[in-house]
Amino acid sequence: MIKRLYTVKWVLKGYQKPEGGGRENNPDWHFILEKLDKLRHDDGTVTLKLILKNSEGKELSVYAKNDHYSIIFNDIDADGDILRTSYNREAKKGLHEMHGLDWDARTIFTDYDAVYDIFKQFFETGEVSSSPILPGGP
């Protein structure tokens, strides 16, 4: 595996600090997995950022509340940002409240295994090509 430089940030509403929030440079996979596992049945966010050069980078975030998840992948390069979001083809059009905001219900899914798989792929390759991540979202 190629060595990449990452930063992970997290906010876990059900935990006291330092477990409930922080930032770690160059975490290993087990550290990231620990934060994702704590997010599994809780409320919060985990963001993994791949540091490239200058102002370029890639960022993968999962937002969670009560076993509902939404993922945003941001690919930042010299030409601008390319944003991709999770998209649930089976969800009906509408709104879903999460973190005090109304989210498009089609960006919300309940499959934690998909969260794990997408973060693992990003950590190993620096890319996201897995469903349910689509360019631009719904």
Give Cβ neighbours of residue 104 (< 8 Å, ≥ 6 apart).
93, 95, 96, 137, 138
14-23 long-range contacts, Cβ below 8 Å, gap at least 24? 14/38, 14/42, 14/43, 14/44, 15/42
Distance CA 80, CA 53 (A): 14
Domain boundaries, the chain: 6-129
pLDDT tens digits, one per residue of 63-120: 999 999 999 999 877 677 778 888 888 888 988 888 888 888 888 988 899 999 999 9
- What's the confidence (pLDDT) of residue 47? 97
Q: Whole-model pTM? A: 0.86
> Quick one: pLDDT band at residue 137, thresholds 50, 70, 90?
very low
